[in-house]
Amino acid sequence: MRAIIAFLLFLFLTTTTSITATAHESSKCKAWLVQSIPTDMPQLPPVPGLLSTADVLQWLAGNSSKSLDIIAQYWQLVPSLSDPRSGDYGYSDEKLQQFGANEGLKVYKALESAANRKLPIRLLQHSGVYPDYTEEPSNLASGRPNVKNVTLLLSDWWGSGVVHAKVWISDSRDVYIGSANNDWKSLTQVKEVGIYLAGCSDIAKKVEIYYDNLWKLAHLDVSAYTRSVWDSQWQINRKVPCWSHYVNPKDRCRSPLPKCMEVAHISGYPVLSDPFMFHIPIETPGVNDSFFHPQPSYLSFAPPELLFGKYYTDEQAWVDTIKSVGNGGTVRINTMDWLGQSGYTKETVYWPSLSSAISEVVFSKSAKIQILVAKWAHFINNTDQYLKSLLYSNTLCSSSKYNHCSGKVEIKYYIVPGYNSTGPAALNGTATGNMYPGYTRVNHGKYAVSDTRAHISTSNLVWDYFYTTAGVSFGTYQPAIVSQLQEIFNADWNSPYAVPVEPMEEGHACSS
């Protein structure tokens, strides 16, 4: 009932904003946290005031009047039932209805209607996933000059990496940033978290600049703008854009991007002591205790070479969110993947950035760190070792008489029921016994929230997502958003779907 009331409130407010677009109150920035919850999770307590991802994306597609820009890793809003290579194959129409597949179809139809009414639309994505790749955005652009469609391969620029950001920008004033792919399963079979900012033109226009930078990359001659360098920060040879700070100044080219960051070269990327903050009031209609006074908010981006102005790298924004915790406070971190290294580069990078930040606040501020990591069908095998090494901070915390440390790290795996029964329902004419389509039943959200600051991201916690992969995050000190994001985390953390990760056995900390 509360969810229905929240959605009706959302429709009323956004409709009012649309009708009074020229009025003074239309400039007010409003924010809602957005979530997808998989079906068949009856023991997950609801968090009031949230919007569903499907409703927000359908709204953005259906109500844009001037422009719509979308960044996606891949598309599959329409189920692929007839292709035996698809993870959707073999399920009945009745079963798809139970899975909520119609929600993706509604979003696609809303996009199709927007394209037919001659709305200027730009679609930018990675090459997609097997077997459909970029079929849906190609179909939307086919025969419609108002729809532009681009596929960007970041591996051509960085040697690895993908367009992983999930962003919708409407009319240069409304924006969705979150973990949900343009996939029907992301709406009803995968757990997602994002934020919808309405009437926030200052923020939307900055995200638009990042979008323009990606769009420009897709139209440049890669061979003329890349260099192979020795990266002294991460101790590997790698490919980077020629304007990268990893290229020595005498060899560095002038960036062809309209707006990019200009800072003196140092080893590694520059850390900002005063990153740009939006000091604008953000109203939160979905939360009763809305705060109308301006609170600092920010955007962060990856890879670093696509930054502009004085904006955070996404890595620094995550680290600073962890370090924003007060003495004795709690940091809550939610991610699909956690790995203290690279995952997709030819040479392996050891990556201690987040682990170090966590250990620092456990020691210096006696902070509690709670981390939720997804356990699912495509779980990264050596995740467990990295998580247990992080738990060893608890042993180190009390290892010396000189320590005045009472902090603690707690880690749980989040297990969506049915995660180990996903895939096509039939294979080579034989029933597989799978209960859900492929690549579903996973906690896919990426966010962190301290007692003062919320950070909502599109990046998994692996080195590649910060240095070779396109990602966008929004963060804020707005108390209502911080509080509600804590509620989302706590509902998951305290649910029966979260299972503690056990620390390594004593005496085996250094075993091979």
Question: What whole-number distance in Å separates Cα of residue 203 and Cα of residue 172?
Answer: 9
- At residue 335, the 3 state secondary structure works out as strand
Nearest to 492 by CA among 413, 420, 425: 413
Residue 245 lies in a domain: yes
Strands (DSSP E) found in 286-343: 295-302, 312-313, 330-335
- Distances, alpha carbon 512 to alpha carbons 31, 176, 385, 395, 509, in Å: 48, 44, 11, 19, 9
Question: What is the pLDDT at residue 1?
Answer: 47
Q: Are 271 and 471 in contact (CB under 8 A)?
A: no
CATH number at residue 463: 3.30.870.10
Nearest-10 Cα torsion for 474, 478, 482, 488: -70
Question: What whole-number distance in Å separates Cα of residue 329 and Cα of residue 322?
Answer: 11
What residue has token string 């250094």? Answer: 510
Residue 505 lies in a domain: no
Residue 509 lies in a domain: no
Residue 393 lies in a domain: yes
Neighbouring-strand partners of residue 497: none
Q: Which residues contact 122 (CB under 8 A, 6 or more apart)?
A: 67, 68, 69, 70, 147, 148, 149, 150, 211, 215
Question: What is the pLDDT at residue 18?
Answer: 41
Residue 327 lies in a domain: yes
Number of structural domains in the chain: 1
- Distances, alpha carbon 200 to alpha carbons 26, 142, 233, in Å: 9, 32, 37
Nearest to 112 by CA among 123, 126, 128: 123
Cβ burial of 97 (10 Å; 0-12, 13-18, 19+) is: exposed
- At residue 362, the 3 state secondary structure works out as helix
Question: What is the extent of the structural domain holding 459?
Answer: 28-498
Q: Which residues contact 403 (CB under 8 A, 6 or more apart)?
A: 363, 397
Question: What whole-number distance in Å separates Cα of residue 91 and Cα of residue 492?
Answer: 29
Counting as low any pLDDT under 70, the low residues of the chain are 1-27, 261-268, 289-292, 505-512
Question: What whole-number distance in Å separates Cα of residue 465 and Cα of residue 342?
Answer: 9
Nearest to 489 by CA among 193, 103, 69: 193
Residue 14 lies in a domain: no
Amino acid at residue number 333: I
Q: Are 337 and 462 in contact (CB under 8 A)?
A: yes
Question: What is the pLDDT at residue 17?
Answer: 41
- At residue 229, the 3 state secondary structure works out as strand
Question: What whole-number distance in Å separates Cα of residue 345 and Cα of residue 462?
Answer: 11
- At residue 346, the 3 state secondary structure works out as coil
Residue 240 lies in a domain: yes
Residue 280 lies in a domain: yes
Question: What is the pLDDT at residue 128?
Answer: 79
Question: What whole-number distance in Å separates Cα of residue 93 and Cα of residue 91?
Answer: 7
Whole-prediction pTM: 0.92
